[in-house]
Chains A and B, each alone.
Chain A
Amino acid sequence: MNALTRSAPWRGTAWVFGKLGFSGRSLVIAIPMLWLGVFFLAPFFVLGRISLAEAIIARPPFTPLFDRAPDGSLEIFASLENYRFLLEDALYRNAYLSSIRVALVSTIFALLIGYPIAYYIARAPEPKRSILLLMVILPFWTSFLLRVYAWMGFLRSNGVINNMLLSMGVIDSPIQMMQTDFAVYIGIVYTYLPFMILPLYANLTKLDGALLEASSDLGASPMVTFFTITLPLSLPGIVAGSMLVFIPAIGEYVIPALLGGPDTLMIGRVLWDEFFSSRDWPVASAVAIVMLVLVVAPIMWLQSVQNRRGMD
């Protein structure tokens, strides 16, 4: 490491930055601040502004916010028409509701599958624990798109599962699994399972083993101990893991597009179609703004829960 610090590139860079007067604290703060301000924060203002515009056939395909009226005065054009449209059209309402339902069901399944794994890993002795943990994270590193694709080969009517069940004689004709809500649940649970397991694991490793011993010494069965001690104490992990699955699941596009059927309505997909197929940018923006509210609300709630816990 010493050779690295003494090496010419590090020293050269340090010297150049020093000469530029870069030691100023504000300049260092400015770089991430400006980048994120321009490319993360500003886009939301543009999004909000375009959600108030009207779609027109032109480049760009929406009305400008300011316009010159015929008499030369400046006119501001902004309307809540798109939002009214979202409220009145049953398609959007259903899409929002069904996104929440799909995300909720998937989160529950992820919790049911993830909890035993997290519990088991947290209780495992050391070398085994690290290996199991790595095995949970590993699939997360391989391409998300290809992992969803892998399920297409699994769930198809002539896919692996159906072929297996047919050859074992469990079923006579293939079960329709692709293009159903079931396939979407599987896709979401599969993709986001590590996000459920990791916070649960982090929480369960902190669990004091003495509490469990005390409980069993006092005559409680493992079941009773689990439901009166382990489960309540792991609630913060459950909340954190559930949020990490629920929030991205709401806006999911790829999974319903590949595994879902034509009637699997999810808001991410509606937004995508509104933008790419209908080319209605203002309506797509309004859909995004409402979705943002849906996503931000649970995050704010989580934050307030955590703050309250911090104060206790």
Chain B
Amino acid sequence: MRGWFLPLAVAFGFIFLYAPIISLVVFSFNESRLVTVWGGFSTRWYGELLRDRQILGSAWISLQVAFWSANLAVIVGTLGAFVLTRFGRFAGRLLLTGMITAPLVMPEVITGLSLLLLFVSMELTLGWPAGRGLITIIIAHTTFCAAFVAVIAQTRLRQMDESLEEAARDLGAGPVRVFFDITLPVITPALVAGWLLAFTLSLDDLVIASFVSGPGASTLPMVIFSKVRLGVSPDVNALATIIIGFVLVAVIIAGWLLRRTARRM
């Protein structure tokens, strides 16, 4: 695997990964409505985007959903990871391990459909949740995002020097105090990274949200999907560029946080 073949294959791989994204960004500054024909530089589509009430409304819904899902996912995922790494044997350990990793590989159509059917059945028997919308999307996103948070938190908890916790216990701290004073501060950067991942995943999800949302609660990916289905449109390119910009900033912050802790430990 030496010589010219390997670098060429790698270069091809990276061109494959980046060319579509770069062309997306470039054509978002295109004057022409024909997305792939260059008609001169313009920020016209960004202006048009800011006047599109449907997109702005759905972006607001998506941000709310992502914010609350990420918060809840960090709580559920961290507790799950903590229980699995620190509690030794307990009844239902295998079940919890399965339930916390399975959402990672579950096809979205199955998760979406089964959760919707659960919500409908719950509404019939318990009267809650009444109808579907923001709440049901948040619950659905929390469930699959918690799995990703749990993976990150588990890695961090395993790497962490457990003698810190032991020392605190020896000095007379109770388990709650040890968790909040020692464990939590040490794993916080990993949790921030987990939160950002959950936030991005929630913001990105189309399939699950389509199943569990109700009338009047269309998330941004749902609106984009209905636009894109009809063909390529320049304002979606502008939107994509904005999202890519945000994601870049978020990834850089997350990477920096993880690096900082990795150095310290």
Measured CB to CB, the residues of A under 8 A from B are 1, 4-5, 10-11, 13-14, 17-18, 22-23, 25, 28-29, 31-33, 35-37, 39-44, 46-47, 50, 60, 113-114, 116-117, 119-120, 134-136, 138-139, 141-147, 149-154, 156, 158-160, 163, 190, 193, 222, 226, 230, 244, 247-248, 250-254, 257-258, 268, 271-272, 275-276, 281, 284-285, 288, 291-292, 295, 299
Question: Is B102 touching A40 in the complex (CB atoms < 8 A)?
Answer: yes
Question: Is B13 touching A285 in the complex (CB atoms < 8 A)?
Answer: no
Interchain CB contact (< 8 A) of A295 among B79, B87, B106? B106
**A4: which B residues are within 8 A, CB to CB?**
185, 188
Leading 7 A-B pairs by shortest Cβ distance: A251-B107, A43-B114, A32-B80, A150-B20, A116-B9, A14-B180, A36-B99
Question: Is A29 touching B87 in the complex (CB atoms < 8 A)?
Answer: yes
**A276: which B residues are within 8 A, CB to CB?**
210
Number of interface residues of B (CB under 8 A): 94
Question: Is A47 touching B113 in the complex (CB atoms < 8 A)?
Answer: yes
Among B174, B229, B237, B240, chain A packs the most CB atoms within 10 A around the CB of: B240
Interface of B is mostly: helix
Q: Which residue of B lies closest to A36 (CB)?
A: B99
Question: Is B247 touching A142 in the complex (CB atoms < 8 A)?
Answer: yes
B61 at interface, CB cutoff 8 A? no
Interchain CB contact (< 8 A) of B90 among A25, A46, A150? A25
Question: Is B24 touching A146 in the complex (CB atoms < 8 A)?
Answer: yes
Known contacts A17-B176, A153-B232; decide if A117 and B20 are in contact (CB<8 Å): no
B200 at interface, CB cutoff 8 A? yes
**A230: which B residues are within 8 A, CB to CB?**
1
**A44: which B residues are within 8 A, CB to CB?**
114
**A253: which B residues are within 8 A, CB to CB?**
108-109, 207
A150 CA to B25 CA, complexed, in Å: 9
B47 at interface, CB cutoff 8 A? no
Question: Is A138 touching B9 in the complex (CB atoms < 8 A)?
Answer: no
Question: Is B96 touching A32 in the complex (CB atoms < 8 A)?
Answer: yes
A22 CA to B176 CA, complexed, in Å: 8
Among B5, B113, B184, chain A packs the most CB atoms within 10 A around the CB of: B113
Question: Is B118 touching A43 in the complex (CB atoms < 8 A)?
Answer: yes
Question: Is B176 touching A47 in the complex (CB atoms < 8 A)?
Answer: no
A183 CA to B246 CA, complexed, in Å: 28
Q: Which residue of B lies closest to A299 (CB)?
A: B105
Question: Is B20 touching A154 in the complex (CB atoms < 8 A)?
Answer: yes
Question: Is B240 touching A60 in the complex (CB atoms < 8 A)?
Answer: no
B140 at interface, CB cutoff 8 A? yes
Q: Which residue of A lies closest to B102 (CB)?
A: A40
B60 at interface, CB cutoff 8 A? no
Q: Which of chain B's residues 27-62 have a Cβ closer than 8 Å to chain A?
A: 27, 34-37
Interchain CB contact (< 8 A) of B251 among A37, A41, A138? A138
Q: Which residue of B lies closest to A44 (CB)?
A: B114
**B70: which A residues are within 8 A, CB to CB?**
none
Question: Is A14 touching B113 in the complex (CB atoms < 8 A)?
Answer: no
Question: Is B99 touching A41 in the complex (CB atoms < 8 A)?
Answer: yes
Question: Is A153 touching B109 in the complex (CB atoms < 8 A)?
Answer: no
Q: Which of chain B's residues 198-215 have a Cβ closer than 8 Å to chain A?
A: 200, 203-204, 206-207, 210-211
A138 CA to B236 CA, complexed, in Å: 20
Q: Which residue of A lies closest to B25 (CB)?
A: A150
**Min C-beta distance of B64 to chain A, whole Å:** 18
**Min C-beta distance of A300 to chain B, whole Å:** 12
